[in-house]
Amino acid sequence: MNRFKSVLLAACVASGALGVAASASAESLEPILEVGKQRTADAKASQAKIDRLADETRDLLSDYKTVMKQIDGLKVYNARLERQIANQNRRITDIDSSVAEAAVIQRQIPPLVARMLDGLEQFVALDYPFELDRREGNIEAVRSNLDRSDVTSAEAFRQVLELYSIELQYGRGIESYAETIELNGVEREVNILRIGRIALIYQSTDGAETGAWNNETRSWEPLSAGDYARAVRTGIRIANKQATIELLNMPIAAPEAN
């Protein structure tokens, strides 16, 4: 019994020692577990920070790529603008030169218009004497515009060109009109037939007298009534649109060789 008690006492003592040792081990592990938990929490926080930084990096990279694309587009756009500006500068230079030349031309237009009017006036004086009042009046009207401040040089030049165009049309048409001419010192009412600039013929209102303008002698000359009276009468009706066009025998002056 004493041995049993001793063994039991020893067992109790050992069990107590083990309990004390286990309690001591549990107390020593607690800080370690806390450190592990803290490390885990720190690792989670670090991973969250890394994930956030990775997202921000991806956003920044996307923004960077977008900005680079915009920069490339702006480079192309700026290069095109530079070419346009260079072209506009060349045009400005050309315009400046044109303005300078236009100023010189503008100073030369009035003398040119005056010479053109003088030439046209001389031409009308030497031409067949048809519608002289109108043609000479048009020339004087344009000449008077040269001294008007409200008529530009360009407008005066345009008016002269219009007179030249009118004179050009006279050479292409046929017309008839009533006119008073002087025959043998007596004024007579006659019908005039103008065929371009190749013939200017008169016929009395009763058809008894027929004649033509001789531009060399600058006078009216009678024609044989039997040869031209009927043809001239028909020509007058054609010019007045009272008859259809047909071939007519007219007194046309033949050109002379120089």
Half-sphere exposure of 1 (CA within 13 A, CB side): 0
How confident is the model at residue 227, as a pLDDT?
78
Domain locations in the chain as residue ranges: 107-170, 174-239
Angle of CA points 123, 127, 129, to nearest 5°? 125
What tens-digit pLDDT sequence spans the chain (258 residues)?
555 555 555 555 555 555 555 555 666 677 777 777 888 888 888 888 888 888 888 889 888 989 988 898 889 889 998 999 999 998 888 887 777 776 777 778 888 899 999 999 999 999 999 989 999 999 999 999 888 888 888 898 999 999 999 999 998 889 999 998 888 888 889 999 999 888 999 999 888 889 999 988 899 999 887 778 888 999 999 998 888 888 888 887 766 555
The single residue listed with the structure tokens 């043809």 is 231
How confident is the model at residue 154, as a pLDDT?
84
Q: Which has the closest alpha carbon to 163: 128, 121, 106?
A: 121
CB 257 within 8 A of CB 235: no
* Residue 217 per-residue DSSP state: T
Task: Name the 3-class secondary structure at 200.
Answer: strand
What span, in angstroms and rounded, lies between the C-alpha atoms of 19 and 24? 8
